[in-house]
Structure 1
Amino acid sequence: MQTHPMPRRHPIGRGWYWTRGGFTLFLHGRGASVGMLLCWLAIGLLLEMLPIGGVISNLLYMVWMAGWMAAAERAWREQKIRFDDLFTGFRQQFRPLLAGGVVLILALLPIEILSSALLSHWDPVQLLQSREAINLTFTVDEIRAVLLAISLSMLMAVPLLMAVTFAPALILLQKVPVHRALWLSFVGCLRNMWPFLTWSLLACVLLLLSSMLLVVGLLVVIPMLNYSVYVAYRDIFTDGQMPVIPPGEATATHFDA
C-alpha cells in the first residue's frame, strides 16, 4: 500500500460512498463489531471511575482507533472481523500510537484552559442551582461568555480533530511517523472538507435515528461510522480505486446506492 505525495481530493458526494462502505464492512463482522463496541465502552466507563481516567482515555484514543482500523482492514481484505482486532494497537505500533495520544492531550490543554478562563467569572453549576428551573434567565454577559467559550473551543478543536482522524490508520497500516501522520491527516481532511460535510450530516442523521432505537441502533451505527473512517482513509491516501463492495457481494449485502 503506497501513500500519495498529497492526499486525494474528492467531490462532495463522496461522503455517501464512505458511509455506505462503512456499513458494508460492518456486515462482514456484525457480531464481532458489536462485541468490540461493548468492550470498548465498558473499559471507557471503568476508566472514567478513576481519578485520572479522562487523561488515560485520551492517551489511549489512537490505540483504540487503530484497533478499529485493523478490524476494517481485515474486513476489506478477508471479508471477516475478529474480536481481538480491537487490541491490535496494543500489539503493533503501540509506542507511536501512544505518542499520538500524548500530542492529543497536550493539544487539548490550551482548549480547556481557554474555556475555563472565559467562564471563570461565573460558576454554571452554582448559577443553575441558585435559580428556579421555571424562571431560569441569564444576563447578556453570561450568554456572551458561554457562546464565546463554545465558539473558540470549537474553532480550536476542529483542526485537532482533523489531525487525529486518519493518524491512527496511517501510523498502524503504513508505519508513518507520528508528526507526519498528524500532518497528512490534517491535509487530507482539509482537501476533502465538502465530502466530510456530507459524511458529518449523514452521521448526525444516523446517530439521531439510532438513538430513537436506544442501544440497538447505536450498536450498529457507531462501528459503522468507525469503519467509514477507514473507507475514507483508503479513498484519500492509497493508490487505486477501492471497490467497497467486492464483486459479487452487492446482492448479498442488500445495501446499494
Structure 2
Amino acid sequence: MDNSLPVFRVVAAGRGWDWIVQGFELFKRNPGIWVAITVIWILLNMAASITGAGALAAPLFAPVLLGGMLIGCARLVRDQELEINHLFAGFKQPFLPLLGVGLGLLVAQWAVALIAGMLALTFGAGTFLSGATLSGSASEAAIAASVLAGLGVGILVVILVALLLYGVVLMAFTFAPALAVLGNVAPIAAIQSSFKAAWANWRPLTIAGLIALPLCIIAAIPLMLGYLVLIPVLIGASYAAYRDIYPELPEQLAEDTP
C-alpha cells in the first residue's frame, strides 16, 4: 500500500463531456448486467435506510460498493466480462483501504452536519435574543419581522456554509475509492490526492456535473427507471475521469496478483 501522493494531470474542460460519453460506452458493453447491478445496489441502499444503524453505516460501505463497480469498469476496458458479483468485489482484497476511505467519508459527513447544526443553533439563539431586546421598544409586528428576517439570513448562511463544506468533501472523495482499489494508494493519501486533483480539474468536473444534472431530471421522468441506465453511465464516467487524470498510475487489481 502506497502512502505517497500519486501524480495527476490537469485536463481540458471539454474532457467532462468525453467522460460521460465513455461512461455510456462502458454501459453499452453489457447493459443487462449493469442494470442488474444497479437494481441490487438500489435495493441495498433502500434496506440500509430502513434502520437507523443501516443509514449510519451507508457512507462507511459506499466506497466499498463503488470500488467493486469500478473494478467492473476496469474489467470491461480490458475486454473481460462484467459480472454481478463485481458489485461486491470491494469486500475482497483490498477491502481495508476502501473501508478506510468509507470511514473518512463518514467522519467528514458528520463533521459537516455538526458544523451546520452549531451554526443553526447560534443564529437561532442570536435571532431570538435580538427579538427579546426589542420587546420593550417595538411593536409585535416589528419584532416578528425582525425575527423572521434574522432567521431567513441565518438559514441562508447555514445552507451556503453546508454546501461549501460538502463541496470540499465531494472533492476529497471524488477519486479516493478508485485510488484505493485500483491504484493501491493508502486511504489518507487517496483522500488528499483526490482533493488536490479535483481542485485542479474543477473545470472538466463542473462540465460533467452540468451535463449530468439535466440527465438526472430526464432519468426521473419515467418512474425513475432512467436511473437504471444513468447510474452505471455515471460510474463509468467516474472511472474514465480517474484514468484520464491519473494516466501514469498503474492499475492493480487483486486478481492480477498471483
The change in CA–CA distance for 1:119 and 1:216 in structure 2 (over 3 A counts) is same
Give yes or no for contact 2:219–2:226 (8 Å, CA) kept in 1: yes
Give yes or no for contact 1:18–1:228 (8 Å, CA) kept in 2: yes
Secondary structure at the residue paired with 1:116?
Answer: helix
Q: Which residue of 2 aligns with 1:56?
A: 57
Give yes or no for contact 1:37–1:223 (8 Å, CA) kept in 2: yes
Tell me the TM-score normalized by structure 2.
Answer: 0.81
Q: Which residue of 2 aligns with 1:23?
A: 24
Q: In the alignment, does 2:208 pair up with 1:194?
A: no
What amino acid sits opposite 2:55 in the alignment? G
Q: Which residue of 1 aligns with 2:43?
A: 42
For the residues of structure 2 that align with 1:86 and 1:139, how far apart are their CA atoms?
48
Match of 2:228 among 215, 219, 231: 219
Query: 1:192 Cα shift?
Result: 0.8
Larger Rg: 1 or 2? 2
Query: 1:213 Cα shift?
Result: 2.3
Q: Which residue of 2 aligns with 1:236?
A: 245
What amino acid sits opposite 2:245 in the alignment? I
What amino acid sits opposite 2:83 in the alignment? R
Q: Which residue of 2 aligns with 1:73?
A: 74
What amino acid sits opposite 2:230 in the alignment? V
Secondary structure at the residue paired with 1:174?
Answer: coil
Q: Which residue of 2 aligns with 1:178?
A: 187
What amino acid sits opposite 2:219 in the alignment? S
Secondary structure at the residue paired with 1:175?
Answer: coil
For the residues of structure 1 that align with 2:39 and 2:95, how far apart are their CA atoms?
22
The change in CA–CA distance for 1:11 and 1:4 in structure 2 (over 3 A counts) is farther
Match of 1:158 among 167, 179, 201: 167
For the residues of structure 1 that align with 2:6 and 2:94, how far apart are their CA atoms?
23
Query: 1:235 Cα shift?
Result: 0.5
- Compute the RMSD of aligned alpha carbons: 1.9
For the residues of structure 2 that align with 1:184 and 1:51, how far apart are their CA atoms?
32
User: In the TM superposition, what are the counterparts of 1:64-143 in structure 2 within 5 Å?
Assistant: 64-78=65-79, 80-120=81-121, 121=124, 139-143=148-152
Query: 1:46 Cα shift?
Result: 0.9
Tell me the TM-score normalized by structure 1.
Answer: 0.82
For the residues of structure 2 that align with 1:150 and 1:9, how far apart are their CA atoms?
30
In the alignment, structure 2 segments of 5+ residues that lack a partner are 126-146, 250-258
For the residues of structure 1 that align with 2:80 and 2:201, how far apart are their CA atoms?
28
Farther-moved stretch of structure 1 (138-147 vs 92-101): 138-147
For the residues of structure 2 that align with 1:97 and 1:176, how far apart are their CA atoms?
10
Secondary structure at the residue paired with 2:185?
Answer: coil
What amino acid sits opposite 2:20 in the alignment? T
Query: 1:119 Cα shift?
Result: 2.8
Secondary structure at the residue paired with 2:10?
Answer: coil
For the residues of structure 1 that align with 2:222 and 2:210, how far apart are their CA atoms?
19
For the residues of structure 2 that align with 1:20 and 1:92, how far apart are their CA atoms?
30
For the residues of structure 2 that align with 1:46 and 1:52, how far apart are their CA atoms?
11
Aligned residue pairs total 223
Secondary structure at the residue paired with 2:113?
Answer: helix
In the alignment, structure 1 segments of 5+ residues that lack a partner are 123-137, 241-257
